[in-house]
Structures are given as C-alpha cells and as structure tokens.
Structure 1
Amino acid sequence: MIDVRGLRKEYDGFVAVADLSFSLGEGEILGIVGPNGAGKTTTLKMIATLIKPTAGRISIAGLDPMREEIEVKRRIGFLPEESPLYEQMTVKDYLIFFAELYGLDTGEALVKIEELLDMLSLSADGKRIGDLSKGMRRKVAIIRSLINDPDLLIYDEPTSGLDPMTSQQIIEFVLQLKEEKKTVIFSAHNLHQVERICDRVMIMKNGRVVASGTIGEIRDRWGKEGYILEFRSENDPPLSSLWKENGYYRVRCNGSDELGEVTRLIIEDGGEVTRITPLTSTLEEIFLRVMDEYPIHEEIKENQAFAGNH
C-alpha cells in the first residue's frame, strides 16, 4: 500500500527527519512513537503530501505524490493533532461540505455520514460543532478524514487529550478500519494503545528511526529477559526483592543466570520451587530503554547545536 525510501526533511540546515524507510501493506497499522521533537509529525505531513521532502521517495498505492498529488490525496485521509473545525456549522452541514469537495452528491454524502456517525456512536441532532465536547469534535474530525473512503489513513495523536472512554472508542474504531482493509499510520504517546493494535511500530529519536518492526521483533531486540519465581519454604529465604502472596514466596529474577542462581539458593535452603513465570517487556519499558541506550549521531548533535542558536 505504501513504500517509503530514504525520506529526509531539512529546514535551513536543520535535519528534522533523516533516512526514513518502511513499507506497509493493505490493512496494516503502523504506530510511530517518540519524544516531542522526534520527527513524527513531520513524517506524517510528508506522507500526507502537506510538506515536500528534501530527499527520498514515497509511493502510495503505486502512485508518486510528487507527480500525482491530486490522485494521492483522493486516496488518503489525514487527521492532524490539532484540527480546527468550523464551529458555527452543524455537524451534518460541515461533513456535507467536505463530502462535496470530494465530488460526492448530497444524497450519497448523507448516507455515508449517517453510517460513520453510527459507527462512532456520535449523535448529531442538529448540533453546532462549537457546542460539542472535545471528544465529540475529535470524532467529527475523524469522520471528515473518512468521508472520501480513503485507502490510507494518517492520524497524528488521534486520542490526545481525550477521556479514557472516548479514547477507547476511537481505538476500537481504528481496529474496525483495519478489518475493512484500511491501512493506518498514526503517532501516539499512549504506548499501551500502540502495543495493543499495531502490526508494526517505529520508534523515532532526533529525526531518525532507532527501532522498528513488529512488537515481537522489537521485543526480541530490546526486551529485557525476566522471570517471577514462586516457591515454598519453611525458612526465611536469604533473598532480596522478595514478597509473599497466598502462602507462596515470589521473587523477580532478571535473566536466566540470576534465575539459575536463585533456584539453587532456594533448593539448598530446603525450599521447593513451584512455578516459574516468564516476564514480557512492555512497549513502554522498551521505549524508555531505547531512549536511554541509543547513541546520538554526530549529525544530530550538530542539529541540536544549530537549533539552540536559532
């Protein structure tokens, strides 16, 4: 569906995004995560044809956005993090307006709008957009991004600032779009949501991709091995990081070597190991580890100095 190769964006010598490459197929979801200033929004705007890359290539459904911009825009839906709406318009009038911009007739647009309102559990009821809550306005913006039935959806922080219930509704809706074979790229700070719904994840830092792949691939590369060892003992075990629950002792072991050593100590002390549970690193744990461990490229250091002087 989308193929990106060597994407780069510079602003007066400052490299905002460098050497970004990835591919995504029909019906796949890619989550882009990183700290503020990592290049996430710049990346999304380049893919959405809102800003032109300094170098590199983007192909969307076999189309080149540089040469076939209008056709590409017909195939994408974009949701910025901050999405101002026409607050004096009613919800339906607003959505009909955008539907007509895409060439839909009013009758066709109304059918599509009613379908999307129902899917997102949003009741319009003649309400003006300015009278809606933040969560409801966000849903209107999402419907606007879908009014042209795009193949590729590009969402920048779709659940930012929303209450947990609305946020959950939007995440469930994104999963529903996947079932409809829509390809979705979105940025997010909520790593739990990313871990739950994404087929692939890209972690960015200082304009570069520092880790990417499926959750399993990233976990294999960056995850930290760990275990919870459960045991019984009549003695007070000579172990740190120990707690007792439901009559059993439990201790966390970081890695197989520590697991073996703790097991040996328990048995020598007359204890009995009853269960060993492997621990899986969360995406949040991995993200923090990547941020801490990945070295800053010399070019990026120069960029930071440039930014600090301007």
Structure 2
Amino acid sequence: MIEVNGLRKEYGDFVAVENLSFFIGRGEIFGIVGPNGAGKTTTLKMLGGLIRPSKGSITMKGLEMSRDPVRIKSFLGFLPEESPLYEGMSVDDYLMFFAELYDIDKSVARKRISDLLFDLSLNADGKKIGDLSKGMKRKVAIARSLINDPDVLIYDEPASGLDPMTSRYITDYVRSLKKAGKTIVFTAHNLYQVESLCDNILIMKDGREVIQGTADLIREEYGKIQYRLEFRVDSTEEYDLADIKQLNGGYVIVTDDINVVNNTTKWVASRGGDIVEMRTIVPSLEDIFLSIMGIELFVD
C-alpha cells in the first residue's frame, strides 16, 4: 500500500530525515514516535506531498509521489498538528467548501458531511467554527481530512492538547477508521495510545530509525522483564544476593534475574520471614522509549 525507500530530507547543511525505509500494508495503522526534533513531522509532510524529499522514493497504491502527486492526493487525507480553520464559517459551509475543492457532487457531499458529523458526535448547531471548543475544532479538522473519503490518512498528533475524554474519543474514532478499511500513518507523544492502536511502530531519533516493528518485537529487542519482590524479615545483615531497599517497614528488591528471586525467597523462608508480594514487571512501550532515549527509569 505505502512503500518508502531511502527517504532523506535536508535543509542546507541540516539533515532532518536520513535513510528512512518502511512498508505499510492496506488497512494498517503505522505509528511514528520520537522526541521533538526527531523528524516525525518532516516525514509526514513528505508522505503527504507537502514537501519534496531530497532523496528516496514514496509509493502509494502503486503510484510514485514524485510522478503522480495530484493523483495520490486525491485519495489522501492529511491532518497537521496545528490545523488553522476558517473560523468565520459554519461547520457545514466549511466542509462543503472543501468538498467543492475535491469536485464532489453536492448531494454526495451533503450526505457525507451529515455522516461525518454524526460519526464524530459533532453537533455545532449552526455555530461559527470560531465559537467552538478546542476539541470540537479538532473534530472539524478530522472531518475535513475525510471529506474526500480517502484511502490513506496521515495524522500528526490527532489528539494533541485535548482533554482526556476527547482524546480517548478521537483514539477510538481512529480505531474505527481502520475497521472501515483506511490505512493510517500517525504520530503521537502518548505512547499508550500508540501501543494500543498500531500494527507497527517506527521509533525515530535525530532523523533516523532506531527500530521498527510490532510493539512485541520492540519489547523483545529492547525491553527487559524485571521481577519485584517485597518481603519482611528481622535482619538483612547476611543478605548479599542483590541491591535491597527499605519500604513500608519491610524490604524490596527489583532484578532481571529470576534466580535472584528464587534464592531470596529461600533465604527469607530460612530466617522465618514473610513474602509480601512478588510480581513481574513487563516494560511498556513508554518505558522502552524512555530507555532508548537515555532516560533512566526507577521502579518503586
């Protein structure tokens, strides 16, 4: 569906994106994550045909962006992170205006607008866009990106800056778009959202790929399962199996070695102590992301 090979974007001496390659199958959700300045938005703008790559190729539905940008944009929906709207227009007039730009028949456009407003729970009651809340404005921008019924959606931070309820609603709506057969590429800082939505994930740093694949593959490559054991015992003077911390009148160890856990439980039992809790800590995508970025984690 979407194939990217050797993508590079440079601005003078600055290289914003270097040697990116990936494939996205039809009906997949592909997430791109990374810190600010990683090259995420630049990548999306190249995918959307807004800027040209310095090197590399982008192919969608068998068409090359460099040769057929107009045809590709006809089945593309793009949502930037900052999406200025015509705030003096009503929602219906605004969406009809964009439908006309795509040369959509008015009767078809009216039905599509009605369906989009219903699907997005967007009841503007004839208000001007400038009078809407931030969350409702974001829904208008999403409706605009769907007015041409595109096969491919490119969304830059679709739930950015929204309250938790609206953010959750938009996350669920993006999931419903996949069920409707859309192919979606998006960026987000909410790693839980990315992990719950995406079939495949690309982690970027300094314009380059760090790793890409499923959340499970990334977890297998970079994640480290840890074990947390909390126990009580009269004295730990003879304990030398692992680093130990005091907690809630007892003691706790966190280790990635299951043998340390087994030996500690035996040691505690031999001294008449009690095991309070033992649990496995599976790293989240956020934990792995922070680790890749060099941010040390502490498990309480």
TM-score by length of structure 1 reads: 0.87
1:46-103 superposed Cα distances (whole Å, 9 cap, x missing partner): 0001101011111111111111111100111000011111111100000011011112
Q: Which moved more, 1:105-114 or 1:253-262?
A: 253-262
Residue by residue over 1:231-258, the C-alpha shift from the partner in whole angstroms, topping out at 9 and shown as x without a partner, is: 6x6x43637335469xxx7845321243
How many angstroms apart in 2 are the aligned matches of 1:144 and 1:62?
Answer: 25
Q: Segments of 4+ in structure 1 off by > 6 A? A: none
Partner of 1:298: none
Distance in 2 (alpha carbons) for counterparts of 1:193 and 1:32: 12
Cα root mean square deviation, aligned: 2.0
Q: Report Cα offsets for 1:81-134 as digits up to 9, x if no partner.
A: 111111111000000110111121111111111111111111021111111111
* Amino acid across the alignment from 2:256: G
1:7 offset after TM fit, Å? 0.5
- Which of 286, 289, 299 is 2:288 aligned to? 286
The equivalent residue for 1:306 is none
How far apart, CA to CA, are the structure 2 residues paired with 1:145 and 1:260?
55
Q: What is the CA distance between 1:269 and its match in structure 2?
A: 2.2
Identity of aligned residues (%): 55
Q: Which residue number corresponds to residue 255 of structure 2?
A: 254
In structure 1, what is the equivalent of residue 245 of structure 2?
Answer: 241
Distance 1:237-1:196 versus aligned 2 partners, 3 A rule: farther
Question: Following the alignment from structure 1 to structure 2, what is the Cα–Cα distance between the partners of residues 283 and 258?
Answer: 26
SS at match of 2:7: strand
Q: How does 1:97-136 map to 2 (within 5 A)?
A: 97-136=97-136
Deviation at 1:8, TM superposition (A): 0.5
- For structure 2, the 5+ residue unaligned runs are 296-300
What corresponds to 2:204 in structure 1?
204
Calculate the TM-score normalised by the size of structure 2.
0.90
For 2:290, the aligned partner's letter is L
Aligned residues: 288
Structure 1 stretches of 5 or more lacking a match? 294-310
CA distance in structure 1 between the partners assigned to 2:29 and 2:264 by the alignment: 41
Task: Find the aligned partners of 2:122 and 2:234 in 1 and give their Cα distance.
Answer: 59
Deviations 1:193-219 (A, max 9, x none): 111211111111110011221110111
**Structure 1 residues 243 and 98, CA gap change in structure 2 (3 angstroms):** same
Of residues 89-98 and 180-189 in structure 1, the stretch that sits farther from structure 2 once superposed is 180-189
Question: Secondary structure of the residue that 1:153 maps to in structure 2?
Answer: strand
Alpha-carbon distance in 2 for matches of 1:258, 1:109: 65
For 1:89 and 1:80, locate their aligned partners in 2 and report how far apart those are by CA, in whole Å: 20
Aligned to 2:217: 217
Go from structure 1 to structure 2 and tell me whether the alpha carbon gap of 1:250 and 1:87 turns closer, same or farther (over 3 Å shift). same
**1:271 to partner: Cα distance:** 4.2
* Residue 6 (structure 2) aligns with: 6
Counterpart AA for 1:287: F
The reply on whether 1:96 has 2:100 as its aligned counterpart is: no
1:124-163 mapped onto 2 (5 Å cutoff):
124-163=124-163
